[in-house]
Structure 1
Amino acid sequence: MNLALLVSVIALEQSCLSAAEHPRRDAAQALTSIEVEEVEEREVLQSIYEGDENFKELNPTTFQYRVGDIGHFKSFLLEIAWGDNYPTELPNINFDTFYINHM
């Protein structure tokens, strides 16, 4: 697995755990804080993977990374998506995304 990808996944999990340990005081403040954290998370991912043809942002909360070489039978897609309650809830990490690797 790509080292940068692994570091990103670990940082994402730590961010979620840290947020869950510190409950928000005010709902309006939490919404603003969550939005800021999502924007920062997106910017970090974009800066790490800028120019990497294996990385794809599907929408503001869903990202894919192709692991392995194009056309190799051991290559696969890793998809990470976060929901409305991110970062207080862990993102969905999907290894079952459809991927045709022999075209």
Structure 2
Amino acid sequence: MTANEDQEMELEALRSIYEGDECFKENSSVSFQFRIGELEDSRAFMLDVSWPEAYPESAPQMSLDGFFNNRIAPETKQLILTRLEEQAESNLGTAMMYTLFEWAKDNQLDLMENHQPVSNAVTAISDNNNMTSNAPAAGKKREKKEQLSKSQKRRITSRTDNKGELPRGWDWVDVVKVYRLLHLPSPPIFDR
């Protein structure tokens, strides 16, 4: 069999195995993406694989350069690629994509053992700003303050003292009105 025939057979097998699997994506007949782990998992990563012309006699080209992997440290990416390349070398001459994907799934915890999520530049800048000020973190919405008109502001300041508090007894008039409406004798403080 030629390399192209082997590739066609493996492509058919991959399509049938991963049909409907959201982790597997076929970009072209020689380029694939496979997500290891769940979307919400901080240890998940996306493996990009492409077949050279001589595949499976030569190892596939693997990469972790996709946007999905931005939070993974370069050292961790290099470790993952090195371990996957070792697996690919041991399987040269055979259809190995399923084997590589399953090996990566089985060894995800070992591969991501030293994983510390990397913050991107935007997060790092906002974190530095949060240390020096009380600005909300990036991603959180700031609460909008209610905008008052000038007349509303004047009324508030005329009713309150310099601390923004209402003066003692400001609602006594309302108490007297309630007593009158209920036909009760006036409250004891007004009986003097």
Q: Distance in 2 between matches of 1:52 and 1:85?
A: 27
> Aligned letter for 1:52?
D
Shift of 1:50: 0.9
In structure 2, the partner of 1:73 is 42
Q: Distance in 2 between matches of 1:66 and 1:56?
A: 9
Q: Distance in 2 between matches of 1:61 and 1:98?
A: 20
Does residue 51 (structure 1) correspond to residue 20 (structure 2)? The answer is yes
In structure 1, the partner of 2:55 is 86
Indicate the larger mover: 91-100 or 38-47.
Answer: 91-100
Q: Distance in 2 between matches of 1:98 and 1:41?
A: 27
Give structure 1 stretches of 5+ with no counterpart.
1-29
TM-score calculated relative to the size of structure 2: 0.33
Q: For 1:31-88, what per-residue CA distance to the aligned partner results, in whole angstroms no more than 9, with x for missing partners? A: xx22211100111111111110111000110111111111332111012211112122
TM-score calculated relative to the size of structure 1: 0.59
- Rg larger for: 2
Q: How do 1:1-103 and structure 2 match up within 5 A?
A: 33-99=2-68
Q: For 1:7-38, what per-residue CA distance to the aligned partner results, in whole angstroms no more than 9, with x for missing partners? A: xxxxxxxxxxxxxxxxxxxxxxx7xx222111
Q: Distance in 1 between matches of 2:39 and 2:6?
A: 33
- Are the equivalent residues in 1 in contact too, given 2:46–2:69 (CA < 8 A)? no
Aligned positions, number: 71
Identity, in percent, stands at: 37
Give structure 2 stretches of 5+ with no counterpart.
71-192
> Aligned letter for 1:61?
V
User: Residues 100, 85 of structure 1: CA spacing in aligned structure 2 closer, same or farther, 3 A cutoff?
Assistant: closer
Question: What CA RMSD, in Å, does the superposition of the two structures yield over aligned residues?
Answer: 2.2
| Higher strand residue share | 1
Q: Distance in 1 between matches of 2:14 and 2:46?
A: 16
Q: Which has the higher contact order (CA 8 A, sep 6+)?
A: 1
> Aligned letter for 1:76?
F
- Are the equivalent residues in 1 in contact too, given 2:3–2:53 (CA < 8 A)? no
